[in-house]
Structure 1
Amino acid sequence: MDNQRNLILAIVLSALVLFGWQAISNRFFPVAKPAVTRIEGGKETVLPQPGADPAADTAKAIRSRALVLRETPRIVIDTPKLAGTINLKGARIDDLVLKAYRETVARNSPPIRLLSPAGSPASYYAGFGWTGDGVDAPGPNTVWTATGGKLTPQTPVTLSWVNSRGQRFETVIAVDGDYLFTITQKLINGGTGAVAARPYGLVSKDGVSKDPSSWTLHTGPIGVFNDAANYDLSFAKIDEAGQAGTRFASTGGWLGFGDKYWLTALIPDAKAPIDAGFLSTAPQVYQAVQSGRPLVIASGKAGAVTQRFFAGAKEVTLLDRYENELGVPMFSRAIDWGWFRVLEKPIFWVLDQVFRLVGNFGVAIIILTFMVRGLMFPIAQKQFRSMAGMRRVQPKMKELQERHKDDKPRLQQELLKLYQEEKVNPLAGCLPILVQIPVFYALYKVLMVTIEMRHQPFILWIRDLSAPDPLHILNLFGLLDFTPPSFLGIGVLALLLGISMWLQFKLNPTPMDEAQKQIFALMPWIMMFIMAPFAAGLLIYWITSNFLTIAQQAWLYRQYPVPETPASATVIDAKTAKKK
């Protein structure tokens, strides 16, 4: 009856672990998904009113992007990493694709589209302008005149427009070889009196991020104000605030919208006081807006303000460079490293350096595993010595269990005494596992948040280390025309993980408690189900670590062989002791 009760208890506990994990993991530990990123869906954006009252866009029906792009005059953007156009109507950067990144791992996959014009599905754009009293400022329908027909890192362009009062507005746009635009806004007052005008910049986005925001990965509105990163912002909070918006007064900083891999950000002068915030002008129509202090410009004088606009991939070294060299405050925090940033960035650095040497991130992960296990070798040696000691005293433990099977308190006392006499610690085996948890979680975050891991192949069928294993056993590795749900999507790597854990547990000392035996017997296969939806790179790390552990255990057990104790003698001794 006791064995049956323990078996039922083990099954119930295992089921709770298996199903309970599935219930909470999506909230607290979002698993990797196939890295297919597309910005689509949504409706027309209405231009906000940042600070003062720039006119709103005229509502139009949603049209195809190709049609919208043909409706207005444009300037070509052509850099090593970016391609697109600037809309001369409204002076907007509203058409941008990232040359270096594709939507899927397929060879014919189109490049990632980041920005789209108003009137097209999922419009997403940046605009820059002026507001003020006594100023006929250009609006969203103003058609600017351009010098030059192409924006490149070597050839900036100047957009200009003159109002009826003789006030000339110029917007000089430059771009570097990566993803950073520099916007210089000038107002030349050719009128008869002084004017007060305030420059502004905005990013308008239709729809929420396709990458879900969670406890471990923030997506959506993000900003740094007064040297503090704000991860508390969300699309839901902006919806609640509506057109009134969520406002921040800051000196410098930056704000925008971030996906898991992509970012748009307005970056004012680091020393300039700004008013910034997020607002919603319609359901799922969001805007990040910043405006500087008003400039009072006398007749015949000019005023100018410079800000930057980032639109591109959240590459780790690039964000660090902009932060350190250009003084963009805390720009590296655009990547949500989380609590273990102090460990995650070094792990990424090691992976990146090894990748530069070997040219394969999968191999780099395996080498990282060897490095981690090497650093932990002394701790592991202590663990395995204790486990070898546990194996050595196991015959005596069985004898005590047989002798005191009807007296549990006495059995625990005798076991504790035996541990002290033999100088073994049954909990020593937990230490290496506890030490590895931060490393394992840090690698999980690195695989999840760094674009350098996106679409990185390993070998054979593993074409994206940041996505789950695509070969599923239940559909016969793609021969059957269906995709199993993530809960049942057991791939080859997950199976190898289960087998490696089973082999590792087989080398461990057998638990005395029957329920523990049952749980340890089921745990490898439970973990196989739990880990199946996670990134392939994470499973490669765990499998490699398991096999290294097995090799180290086997070697150490040969150094500390278990003395053979005939089973018959153990039983006789137990019976004799019982009679006494």
Structure 2
Amino acid sequence: MADIVYVETDLVKAEISTRGGTIQRLELLDYAVDNKKPDVKVQLFSPTADTFYIAQSGLLGVNPESAPNHDAIYKIDQQSFKLTEGEDELKVSMLWSGPNGITVKKEFIFHRGSYLIDVRHQVINGGEESWTARDYSQLQRTEPTEGSRFTTYSYTGGVYYTIDDKYSKITFEEMAEKSLNLDSAESWTAMIQHYFVSAWIPPAEQVEHFYSNSLPGGRYLLGSYSPSITVAAGETRSFDRKLFVGPKLQDVLEPIAKGLELTVDYGWLTVIAVPIHWVLKQIHQVVGNWGWAIIILTILIKAIFYKLSETSYKSMANMRKLTPRLQALKDRYGDDKQRLNQAMMDLYKTEKVNPLGGCLPIVVQIPVFIALYWVLLESVEMRHAPFMLWIDNLSVKDPYFVLPLIMGVSMFIQQKLNPAPPDPMQAKIMMSLPFIFTIFFAFFPAGLVLYWVVNNIVSITQQWYITRKIEQGGS
């Protein structure tokens, strides 16, 4: 019968089963589920059926009885461990005794101020024959239930890192369709979700074999195992791994293993998002408020792209001046598309206006603003971060929908500054967009909506100034 070992440090509370030394429950003490209920902590690992998520590790011998896998029963003298003041690490040790004089001591070493756990299998061969086994580690979980269709998307599933493939995702659907089967050194496996990650990290020089599987009960498994190691009679050898279980903090993850910081998943815009995140953090260190940091960063980016925006807005303003004359041409030529298009091209040429001149500057800026969007969505630093007034949590929707309404109004004003589409149907569709986006953004985190509001207000200011200048005969 398995016992439960209770562990508490300054950052985590954990439950370890003596069946295999499986970490079956882990709470993050610095992260509450809800900022209004600070005593209810985020539980990353859980043995409960509907939220099942555990970290397993063990040894595989030439036969199941010769080494302790994740089903083996360990013995332990103490069932409660707590990191006390003045201690920097906490060791939890359990023993397994096997046939032919083999003893395995499994150790979990927790560190103060760290979410990284050292996991060691120390093999003592007290027999007369050599003994061979490999060690393995795996994460097993159920697929989380789908949230509201109005919530923001963040990837939940498996990821791994190899020398050849670098950072790769493996979804639950892919695990069900085909098992992972590859080898690599400098590697790790992980399960990620919004804001948090659990990752097994073997020694960097060790070549690991990666595997995955789909299990009954809607459970999915991702792990890796080492090459076989032989322990001679009378010899003691150790198998070492590390387990990270905690928030996706880039500066914490980066030193642990190559590429581990990529679990902060910015997608294909990572190369742009990483420096944006760094600048955002530097601003926050000065102002001490993530809301104001978002506002200042958005204004800085708009300032950097001012010349591109100016080119775009000038083109739109010139097109706006031509709108009455374009309408007159349309009235003159009616359904004669060929003559109408030719007359429009002649007008553009005479007035030296490029109808596409406003597009390219906007297209160039799009990757940067999408990257900023993902930075705001993925940054755990902004989870439960207050801003001001009624917004006490930037990571959830505005409770009174004030920011989405301001954003919708700002979109409407922006459209009024743009030249009206010549097609009436297209014009109606464009006029409906502010209403549609208001509904859509009403369920987005307040931090993201704040970014769009500031971006729109700065854009309106720039566009109004440039449009007014051109309409008054400036250039």
- Shared fold (TM-score, shorter chain, > 0.5): yes
Matched with 2:119 is 183
Q: Secondary structure at the match of 1:354?
A: helix
Q: Secondary structure at the match of 2:51?
A: coil
CA shift, 1:516, in A, is: 4.1
Equivalent residue for 2:377, pick from 445, 448, 453: 448
- 1:236-275 to 2 correspondence within 5 Å? 236-240=173-177, 245-275=179-209
- 1:85 equivalent to 2:21? Answer no
Q: Secondary structure at the match of 2:394?
A: coil
Counterpart-to-counterpart distance in 1, 2:325 and 2:6: 84
Equivalent residue for 2:210, pick from 256, 273, 276: 276
Counterpart-to-counterpart distance in 2, 1:291 and 1:503: 59
Q: Answer whether contact 2:212 2:220 (CA < 8 A) is retained.
A: yes
Counterpart-to-counterpart distance in 2, 1:308 and 1:171: 13
Q: Answer whether contact 1:211 1:260 (CA < 8 A) is retained.
A: no
Matched with 1:423 is 352
Q: Answer whether contact 1:162 1:169 (CA < 8 A) is retained.
A: yes
- 100-109 vs 510-519, which moves further: 510-519
Equivalent residue for 1:375, pick from 300, 304, 308: 304
Matched with 2:3 is 72
Matched with 1:160 is 95
Q: Answer whether contact 1:227 1:253 (CA < 8 A) is retained.
A: no
Cα distance, 1:403–1:290 mapped onto 2, change above 3 Å: closer
Counterpart-to-counterpart distance in 1, 2:42 and 2:19: 24
Equivalent residue for 1:312, pick from 231, 246, 249: 246
Which amino acid counterpart does residue 305 of structure 1 have in structure 2?
F
Q: Answer whether contact 2:253 2:260 (CA < 8 A) is retained.
A: yes
Equivalent residue for 2:232, pick from 271, 277, 298: 298
CA shift, 1:189, in A, is: 0.9
CA shift, 1:374, in A, is: 0.5
Which amino acid counterpart does residue 257 of structure 1 have in structure 2?
M
Q: Answer whether contact 1:148 1:157 (CA < 8 A) is retained.
A: no
Look at both structures and tell me which one has the larger radius of gyration over its CA atoms.
1
Q: Answer whether contact 1:73 1:88 (CA < 8 A) is retained.
A: yes
Equivalent residue for 1:101, pick from 15, 28, 31: 31
CA distances 1:242-297 after superposition (whole Å, capped 9, x unpaired): xxx43332224111322222222221111112223122342312333332222222
Q: Answer whether contact 1:147 1:159 (CA < 8 A) is retained.
A: no
CA shift, 1:370, in A, is: 0.8
Q: Answer whether contact 2:309 2:362 (CA < 8 A) is retained.
A: no
- 84-93 vs 259-268, which moves further: 84-93
- Stretches of structure 2 lacking an aligned partner (at least 5 in a row): none
Q: Answer whether contact 2:103 2:123 (CA < 8 A) is retained.
A: yes
Matched with 1:20 is none
Cα distance, 1:389–1:175 mapped onto 2, change above 3 Å: same
- 1:340-489 to 2 correspondence within 5 Å? 340-405=269-334, 407-471=336-400
CA distances 1:327-365 after superposition (whole Å, capped 9, x unpaired): x23212223221111111122222222122212222112
- 1:217-232 to 2 correspondence within 5 Å? 217-229=154-166, 231-232=168-169
- 1:194 equivalent to 2:99? Answer no
- 1:111-122 to 2 correspondence within 5 Å? 111-117=41-47, 122=51
Counterpart-to-counterpart distance in 1, 2:377 and 2:146: 11
Q: Secondary structure at the match of 2:34?
A: coil
CA shift, 1:111, in A, is: 0.5
Which amino acid counterpart does residue 76 of structure 1 have in structure 2?
V
Counterpart-to-counterpart distance in 2, 1:331 and 1:423: 52
TM-score by length of structure 1 reads: 0.72
CA shift, 1:141, in A, is: 4.9
Q: Secondary structure at the match of 2:138?
A: strand
Cα distance, 1:468–1:298 mapped onto 2, change above 3 Å: same
Counterpart-to-counterpart distance in 2, 1:496 and 1:190: 73
- 1:541 equivalent to 2:451? Answer yes
Cα distance, 1:167–1:457 mapped onto 2, change above 3 Å: same
Counterpart-to-counterpart distance in 2, 1:266 and 1:381: 49
Counterpart-to-counterpart distance in 2, 1:304 and 1:142: 19
Counterpart-to-counterpart distance in 2, 1:215 and 1:75: 35
- 1:8-23 to 2 correspondence within 5 Å? none
Q: Answer whether contact 2:27 2:43 (CA < 8 A) is retained.
A: yes
CA distances 1:474-526 after superposition (whole Å, capped 9, x unpaired): xxxxxxxxxxxxxxxxx322221221122122223344443444334333223
Matched with 1:480 is none
Q: Secondary structure at the match of 1:110?
A: strand
Matched with 1:36 is none
CA shift, 1:190, in A, is: 0.9
Q: What is the percentage of aligned positions where both structures have the same residue?
A: 32
Matched with 1:203 is 139
Which amino acid counterpart does residue 212 of structure 2 have in structure 1?
F
CA shift, 1:112, in A, is: 0.4
Q: Answer whether contact 1:182 1:309 (CA < 8 A) is retained.
A: yes
Cα distance, 1:226–1:546 mapped onto 2, change above 3 Å: closer
Matched with 2:76 is 145
Q: Answer whether contact 1:146 1:160 (CA < 8 A) is retained.
A: no
Q: Answer whether contact 1:95 1:116 (CA < 8 A) is retained.
A: yes
Q: Answer whether contact 2:18 2:75 (CA < 8 A) is retained.
A: yes
Q: Secondary structure at the match of 2:456?
A: helix
Counterpart-to-counterpart distance in 1, 2:220 and 2:46: 14
Q: Secondary structure at the match of 1:465?
A: coil
TM-score by length of structure 2 reads: 0.87
Q: Answer whether contact 1:272 1:292 (CA < 8 A) is retained.
A: yes
Q: Secondary structure at the match of 1:280?
A: strand
- Stretches of structure 1 lacking an aligned partner (at least 5 in a row): 1-57, 59-70, 323-327, 472-490, 564-580
Q: Secondary structure at the match of 2:89?
A: coil
Cα distance, 1:141–1:395 mapped onto 2, change above 3 Å: closer
- 1:550 equivalent to 2:457? Answer no
Cα distance, 1:391–1:150 mapped onto 2, change above 3 Å: same
Cα distance, 1:318–1:420 mapped onto 2, change above 3 Å: same
Equivalent residue for 2:222, pick from 277, 283, 288: 288
CA shift, 1:562, in A, is: 4.4
CA distances 1:51-104 after superposition (whole Å, capped 9, x unpaired): xxxxxxx9xxxxxxxxxxxx72524231x3212233344323223100111112
Q: Secondary structure at the match of 1:455?
A: coil
Q: Secondary structure at the match of 1:467?
A: coil
Q: Answer whether contact 1:145 1:161 (CA < 8 A) is retained.
A: no
Counterpart-to-counterpart distance in 2, 1:399 and 1:510: 14
Q: Answer whether contact 2:4 2:79 (CA < 8 A) is retained.
A: no
- 285-294 vs 215-224, which moves further: 215-224
- 494-503 vs 281-290, which moves further: 281-290
Cα distance, 1:562–1:371 mapped onto 2, change above 3 Å: same
Q: Answer whether contact 1:267 1:307 (CA < 8 A) is retained.
A: yes
Counterpart-to-counterpart distance in 1, 2:471 and 2:323: 13
Counterpart-to-counterpart distance in 1, 2:262 and 2:94: 33
CA distances 1:451-491 after superposition (whole Å, capped 9, x unpaired): 223222222333332333332xxxxxxxxxxxxxxxxxxx3
Which amino acid counterpart does residue 266 of structure 1 have in structure 2?
W
Counterpart-to-counterpart distance in 2, 1:514 and 1:266: 58
Aligned residues: 464
CA shift, 1:402, in A, is: 4.7
Matched with 1:499 is 409
Q: Answer whether contact 1:151 1:157 (CA < 8 A) is retained.
A: no
Q: Answer whether contact 1:90 1:143 (CA < 8 A) is retained.
A: yes
